[in-house]
Structure 1
Amino acid sequence: MEDAITARLKKLVSNSNEALEFRLIRDLDDLNSKEAVFKPEMTYQVFGDREIIFGYGELNVQLFYSAGCLETYLGMTYKEKVNEKCDGVEADEVLTKIATKLAPNVHYSLSNFTNSLSKDETFIPYGELKHSFSVNDQGAKRQFVVYKADMNYKGFKEYHQRVQTFLLWYIDAALFIDLDDDQWQYFNLFEKYTTPMGTTRYATVGFATVYRYYAYPQHIRPRIAQFLILPPFRRMGLGTHLLQTIYREYIGREEVKDITVESPSEVFQRLRNYVDALNCSMLPSFEPENLRQGFSDKMIIEARDHLKINKKQARIVYEILRLRATNVANPEEYQAYRIDVKKRLNIPFKRKQNEELKIERALKNVNKGTYTKENGLPSDEQRKEILQQEYEFLEEEYKMVVKRLEYAVDL
């Protein structure tokens, strides 16, 4: 049995995902409203792989932001704290660990933070308005805007330093970008709302960063590096609007070769697939009768020329739209679709197999027939099983996109 001291210390271990809470403060009521609270999806980038905080009982860590310009408050409360003299161990320096990741000028006094909320009264998004739209949220009409900015706008650097801190809690292996590199462009999404007093305010919703890579000989290849919609604003279709705004910014430019994405998460890839499929469905080569004939050069050309989609992504879009056009109740039609997708999935294995055969022949010549085949490739039966699993996962992903396409509206 564990002794009383060990049992007590175990009670002073907190899950950092549960202990940390965020709020976007629009008015003083949000400081106490449970509805204003949202949680991180991960905290390992601050508190380590185990995502725990030691030394406090009933710990609550508060990271509040003013809704518009993101003035920041950091504080914590607890009922009990480990005593170094009595227990022989120290409590974790919680605020210090978080503060090193935040932008300068954090408020540690709640009263100072509440005083700073008045800055939102005059806050206007930085940059150039690129898109304005409204959504129906449970019967209420809400207005949103997307602004494109860069570091030439006075005050924008300080704003971005604050908004990028959300990446730590929602993007795996997040890194802050080099703000002095002028090839970065920034797309910021806000809710435009009216206060009870009738004044217009802007609240931060999310953002994306795009890097303009050089492409030989005189082209650029914009790459979406970061893309985040904050939790209180998800499942409203806002990510689609933000991504379409980015596309519209670059699609019409002759110097743009294609638009790519850096290490997309599953969630973002699903969004990208949906938006690209929605856009490609309006191209002649992606009409249902053409889809059933297989992936074609015409699809590659149209997706590239009209939408700046590269060949790899165009193939994925083709598979999604062909599934949509396939009568899965028809055995022959459905089988033709599955075979077509599996052929594409099997290409890396075939390539690896050919490489192994080349090595095998070369070694046989060197060793004059004494070479024994030992490679890491799965057997044909194992490969069929792996291929089926890959296909089943992919089809489920595609079905989610297809289902969403049925309810799509023009943006």
Structure 2
Amino acid sequence: MADILNLEKKLAEYKCDTNKAIRLKLVRFAEDLEDETTSFSPLYSHQVFGDEESVFGYKDLEIQLYYSTCSLTTFFNIKYSSKVIEKYDNVETDISCPGFKEYHERLQTFLIWFIETASFIDVDDDKWQFFLVFEKYLEDGSPRYATVGYMTVYNFYAYPDKMRPRIGQMLVLPPFQGEGHGARLLETVQRFYTADPSILDITAEEPSEDFVKLRDFVLAKLCEELHAFAPEKLKKGFSAEMIDEARRTWRINKHHSRRVYEILRLRVTNMSDPVQSSEYRLDVKRRLAVPFKKNKKEATRLSRLMPEDWLAQQAEMSVSQEQEYLEETYQSTVEQYRHILERLARV
């Protein structure tokens, strides 16, 4: 217990309050550069460093951001006394690896504590693949590998000669969460399967809301450099070229490439401009309205059996409900996209 407390105390020295670490300065004369009394701190830093307004990995961190008072030309510098050196490795394996079956039996016990609908998998099925993240550290000069997280993927057959991997489980252990391991793991898996020409696309089984956000970020990061997603093409709307290049390059299906398009188009849309804002809103809402169109087809079939006054009442309610749903869903969707774009800007 004492060793754990000492370790926690030591690690705490490398976590910094960014509101205190950032030193702003307006420079009039050369001697102001060395005058600490002219420095001041920001009130907020969450837009750059997240809600906790902190950064881990540096001891005695000082982020210097100086402006000349006239032209506001900037000088940027980072100082620290020491930093944490971390090494993480991603490993792909299957159940044939000696000792892995027993290791996985112990590893998957974490699922019941952190995933609400967790279930154990049949590891004897050779269609399962496993992707693991380890932290490499030294103990008495010898390398050790600490478990950080893992992902399971099942390789489904896709007619006539393709495979469609489906992500089954993904977990990053709590001590390592919030450090970007989930995004790196998902990107590793995406790149791993992209290299195989027999892969049609990559899906996920009953993805959680958090996983969808993570996937949106990773896929947008991968697609933002593709020619089909260039700013001038994003402004013209979702296209077959985007679907084709996203599928060929990253094995991304049409549904996911559409979300990537909406995220990246938001970045090149001036939402303060009424015309651009309206075009974007209508474009997104057209996709969101698709389920209502399907429901209306079913309602048309049912209408032959119902009285006219009931049908009129239902039609009025449906229009009102649809408009309310579309607006609420649109606003929440755009808010999610903004968070993803903020994260992309920090990469």
Judge which range, 233-242 or 269-278, deviates more. 233-242
1:373 is the counterpart of 2:311: yes
Structure 2 SS opposite 1:373: helix
Taking a change above 3 Å as real, the CA distance of residues 208 and 370 of structure 1, as seen in their structure-2 partners, is closer
Taking a change above 3 Å as real, the CA distance of residues 266 and 303 of structure 1, as seen in their structure-2 partners, is same
1:392 is the counterpart of 2:336: no
Q: CA deviation at 1:268?
A: 1.2
TM, length-normalised to structure 1: 0.64
1:170 is the counterpart of 2:109: no
Q: Which amino acid aligns with 1:350?
A: K
Structure 1 match to 2:178:
235
2:3 to 29, 41, 48: 29
Structure 2 SS opposite 1:235: coil
Structure 1 match to 2:102:
158
Contact 1:356 / 1:375 at 8 angstroms: preserved in 2? no
Structure 1 match to 2:72:
none
Taking a change above 3 Å as real, the CA distance of residues 160 and 332 of structure 1, as seen in their structure-2 partners, is same
What are the within-5 Å matches in structure 2 for residues 124-139 of structure 1? Answer: 137-138=57-58, 139=83
Judge which range, 256-265 or 381-390, deviates more. 381-390
What are the within-5 Å matches in structure 2 for residues 352-367 of structure 1? Answer: 352-360=295-303, 362-363=304-305
Q: CA deviation at 1:355?
A: 2.3
Residue segments in structure 1 that go unaligned for 5+ positions in a row = 1-26, 37-135
Structure 2 match to 1:298:
241
In structure 1, C-alpha distance between the alignment counterparts of 2:206 and 2:215, rounded to whole Å? 12
Structure 2 match to 1:143:
87
Contact 1:363 / 1:371 at 8 angstroms: preserved in 2? no
Considering only aligned residues, what root-mean-square deviation do their CA atoms show, in Å? 2.4
In structure 1, C-alpha distance between the alignment counterparts of 2:335 and 2:206, rounded to whole Å? 21
Q: CA deviation at 1:30?
A: 3.0
Q: CA deviation at 1:329?
A: 1.6
Taking a change above 3 Å as real, the CA distance of residues 31 and 152 of structure 1, as seen in their structure-2 partners, is farther
Structure 2 match to 1:183:
127
1:289 is the counterpart of 2:289: no
Contact 1:137 / 1:236 at 8 angstroms: preserved in 2? no
In structure 1, C-alpha distance between the alignment counterparts of 2:86 and 2:256, rounded to whole Å? 33
2:187 to 226, 244, 261: 244
Encode CA deviations 1:242-279: one digit per residue, 9 max, x unaligned: 11111121102111000111111111111110010011
1:276 to 219, 222, 229: 219
Encode CA deviations 1:300-347: one digit per residue, 9 max, x unaligned: 111111110000111111111111111112121111111110111011
Taking a change above 3 Å as real, the CA distance of residues 188 and 375 of structure 1, as seen in their structure-2 partners, is farther
How many residue pairs match? The answer is 278
Encode CA deviations 1:76-123: one digit per residue, 9 max, x unaligned: xxxxxxxxxxxxxxxxxxxxxxxxxxxxxxxxxxxxxxxxxxxxxxxx
TM, length-normalised to structure 2: 0.75
Structure 1 SS opposite 2:252: coil
In structure 1, C-alpha distance between the alignment counterparts of 2:127 and 2:99, rounded to whole Å? 18
1:406 is the counterpart of 2:326: no
Q: If each structure's helix is expressed as a fraction of its own residues, which one has the higher value?
A: 2
In structure 1, C-alpha distance between the alignment counterparts of 2:115 and 2:314, rounded to whole Å? 34
In structure 2, C-alpha distance between the alignment counterparts of 1:380 and 1:231, rounded to whole Å? 45
Taking a change above 3 Å as real, the CA distance of residues 312 and 372 of structure 1, as seen in their structure-2 partners, is same
Structure 2 match to 1:132:
none
Structure 1 match to 2:321:
382
